[in-house]
Structure 1
Amino acid sequence: MRKRAERFEDLEVWQYAHKLVLETYKITRDFPGEEKFGLTSQMRRAGVSIAANIAEGFKKRGMKDKTNFYNIAQGSLEELRYYFILSHDLGYLNAQTDAMDNLDTVGRMLYGLIHSIAVK
């Protein structure tokens, strides 16, 4: 049986989301300078939004509030997914990255988290 999370850092989904943010920062470091205030910035913001909304949702008491923040995190996740596709199509990424695989993991975990709240 899993130990109940006492802090957002205890949530496995947040841990994966945080790892995704770090991977996104690392990947975008090599993007062209012309993308600094464009795609690079957008990708980083979307990644941070995923982890930040999971953290904020964790402390909300009402199930509706919790679900709202987790849904926002899902929206940011899909936004980041699109930016990875765009980055690949623009030639900034050559192949599937660990970050792209991590997107799927975080997405599944978020879906499960939201579903578990909805069932309560």
Structure 2
Amino acid sequence: MNSYTELDVWKYSRELVKLIYVLTKSFPNEELYGLTNQIRRSVVSVPSNIAEGIGRQSNKETIHFLYIAKGSLQEVETQLYLSFDLEYISEAELKNILGTVISSKKLLNGFINYYKKL
């Protein structure tokens, strides 16, 4: 592996960032510094922590940052449910974006398992 930018797990998490940013553009203005900001920060944390983990010196450190990325995905998932509960997104939007979140979690879990075996 030459760079984290070549990793599918990192590329896929970048796509999730784009989807969340587009989705949250329609959130109410009063949420700009609330839920909108929080969900965006959480989703940006995913590819950022993957990249940081790859830059670490040991597999143990790398795995630690991959688990932080996984935790951020859990936050995003929760915040999406809250967005639905508050009627900021429709059920169809929720199902669609959750599919991407679940795929990201699967890729990340696979990547964590790969690193654990090294």
Aligned partners of 1:43 and 1:13: how far apart in 2?
Answer: 19
Question: How far apart are 1:93 and its partner, in Å?
Answer: 0.7
**TM-score when scaled to structure 1?**
0.93
- Structure 1 stretches (4+) deviating beyond 3 angstroms? none
Residue by residue, what CA displacement relative to the aligned partner does 1:56-107 show, whole Å, maximum 9, x if unpaired?
1111120110000000000000000000000011101102434321100110
Structure 2 partner of 1:100: 98
1:36 to 32, 35, 39: 32
DSSP 3-state at the match of 1:22: helix
Structure 1 partner of 2:10: 14
Percent identity, aligned pairs only, is 35
Q: Which has the higher helix share?
A: 2
Residue by residue, what CA displacement relative to the aligned partner does 1:9-40 show, whole Å, maximum 9, x if unpaired?
10000111000001111100000001000000
2:50 to 37, 47, 54: 54
Aligned partners of 1:99 and 1:9: how far apart in 2?
Answer: 23
DSSP 3-state at the match of 2:37: helix
Question: How far apart are 1:118 and its partner, in Å?
Answer: 1.0
Gaps of 5+ in 2: none
Alpha-carbon distance change, 69 to 30 in structure 1, aligned in 2, over 3 angstroms: same
CA-based RMSD of the aligned residues comes to: 1.0
Aligned length: 116
